[in-house]
Structure 1
């Protein structure tokens, strides 16, 4: 017998459809080409969706050059990589990664949230600037571990709150210890196991209630292992990296996460294969995300808690990471949000308070101003804005 009984009624207050285009390739580990333009091709996918580690604006990079705040600009065009780039791209990327990895960059999180027009705040977040001691990683391989996450709840706050309280605890318990042959393989397995375990824990608790809880939540988590970011996400919250491009002399908004909507081809195919359907851009015409923690009544319809996992090497040209729920991105493009934040960080009128460093005061102000501006622009959803400063 199904533990969750009937599917939710229309008054569930489902998340509005985002209308994203269908994305091609494997739903889990599509490889993004490196910045030098080397195309991995369909033959040999890597462990992760590798994000470009270089500051170059070459082909294949998902960087979107940002225009000056006073001007409006579009996304940079992509071109086919030359044979020379394809042959030498990997070596070039490796050299730049090694150069960028000589110093461990400091990370510090800041956050602001707004309830908006919703009756309750269903978002949750976690900032753990340094959990190295708790993770007890192999000292010979890993120097620093940090964790940042945003959870956007729907149908209630219980799933997002549970994920915020438990996902990082499960991650710490499963984090690689002792002799590890491959940090990347082990971290990937750790993240997959952590999401699966957290979802199963919540579903057991939800199904034991009378009536059963029908809450669900997105999850966008950034795990920093030394200077490598591992981004694991479910649903439509997003992570964006602000990177300075030396060639264009502009900052770029680099997408670190992949949204999961039932309108996307791979997502829709999985849902239909499981016996579900997509109507009006939603699972069974109700649920707008195709991956989540919780949503037990939809798990039999192909909704999964398996995250996309991407990896990104930090460089000296990286300035900050933005994590935010879709309440922000309904009214801000990533480029607009990054430009807005940059203007706040350059505002010398922002004064530090209570002995805080000026940089901290500006990041605090940037979070609060961006969250407030999203509400002013008409976002009726909860809005959570998290910034992670990258120190050099």
Structure 2
């Protein structure tokens, strides 16, 4: 069944939560509904329990700040891991960022170069967020590992996170979910700009790292188009992404929880941001998703319209294949 976004008064770090898609606000608005700037929606696939989680967090850090994240769980306990990361990572990351803000920058050559840069303030801010992402992702993975009540040896989750602070986007990607920007051009209307790289074992640099750690990268005969990661001497677990939280049986064989981090400075032409799990991107192109969001009836329904289109496309393209979970966040950047 589909799960609509909801508003909650508190997101607790120590609970997994029950809903897959959460729309949360952290500022004192009398009419929250009228202040929403996007939507999130999740629909379970035909493989069983929905293991996707997402959060659209308005008022993150500052009143106009936003945290968006999609987390695609896998393995027996993937649904638990994805919700745990969804509930814990926003506050963990913000705490790390605030701690770094109190530390005076050291007199390094890098900081000297930034001081001479016209956009030094934006650049230095990104560096602090980048350091916060690296440290918080590392802590998050350790917190999952030490939980005695949770076996994450062969379970985990991907994460694609975009943080908006003013006109700056900080993008952190771990795995094969994806972030795409809808940008207006004079020639072609609104076009899609992919902000992340799908971090799969088939990416040459990812495969090289895994093989250097004695992990195996190969595809099964029955699914020759999907490269997977295997233990050195066992035909397991067959992980279809190259970075993830959890999956500790493969952490010594090339699977890492270090995100790929980038920065995008927003322009007036940037209209909206879309984050989605691979269940959407497996059947819809970036251009198709951007077109759907552009023509959506309203902001509140945009995420659901993308998910509905993905479900329809799964039925058409892969009628005999079990459909993956589909989760989408749409964040509108302009009024």
1:1-392 maps to which residues of 2 (within 5 A)?
108-132=37-61, 144-155=64-75, 156-176=78-98, 177-178=101-102, 181=105, 182-205=124-147, 208-209=148-149, 214-246=154-186, 248-280=187-219, 281-284=227-230, 286-345=238-297, 362-378=298-314, 380-392=323-335
Preserved contact between residue 191 and residue 232 of structure 1 (Cα < 8 Å) = yes
- Contact 1:234–1:292 (CA under 8 A) maintained in structure 2: yes
Q: Distance in 1 between matches of 2:183 and 2:144?
A: 36
**Post-superposition CA distance 1:154-202 (Å, at most 9, x none):** 0131211111011111112111334654222211101111111111111
* Structure 1 CA distance for aligned equivalents of residues 93 and 211 of structure 2: 31
- Contact 1:158/1:215 (CA < 8 Å) preserved in 2? no
The alignment partner of 2:73 has SS state of: strand
Q: Is the 8 Å Cα contact of residues 173 and 260 (structure 2) preserved in structure 1?
A: yes
Structure 1 runs (4+) deviating above 6 angstroms are none
Query: Are the aligned partners of 1:238 and 1:258 in contact in 2 as well (CA < 8 Å)?
Result: yes
CA distance in 2, matches of 1:169, 1:179: 19
Cα distance between partner residues in 2 of 1:211 and 1:195: 19
SS of the residue corresponding to residue 243 of structure 1 reads strand
**CA displacement at 1:270 relative to structure 2:** 0.6
Partner of 1:349: none
| Partners of 2:47 and 2:210 in 1: CA distance | 29
Deviation at 1:377, TM superposition (A): 1.5
**CA separation of 1:231/1:277 partners in 2, compared to 1, >3 Å: closer, same or farther?**
same
Mapped partners of 1:296, 1:171: distance in 2:
22
Distance 1:234 1:210 in 2: 21
Q: Is the 8 A contact 1:231 1:309 kept in 2?
A: yes
- The Cα of 1:328 is off from its aligned counterpart by 0.5
Cα distance in 2 for partners of 1:146, 1:256 equals 17
CA distance in structure 2 between the partners assigned to 1:180 and 1:384 by the alignment: 40
Cα offset, 1:117, TM superposition: 1.1
**Does the residue aligned with 1:169 lie in a helix, a strand or coil?**
helix
1:46-104 deviations in Å (ceiling 9; x for gaps): xxxxxxxxxxxxxxxxxxxxxxxxxxxxxxxxxxxxxxxxxxxxxxxxxxxxxxxxxxx
Provide the alpha-carbon RMSD of the alignment. Answer: 1.9
8 Å CA contact 1:273–1:302 kept in 2: the answer is yes
- Which structure has the bigger radius of gyration? 1
Contact 2:153 2:249 in 1 (8 A): no
Q: What is the total number of aligned residue pairs between the two structures?
A: 259
3-state SS of 1:252 partner: strand
User: Which one has the bigger strand percentage?
Assistant: 2
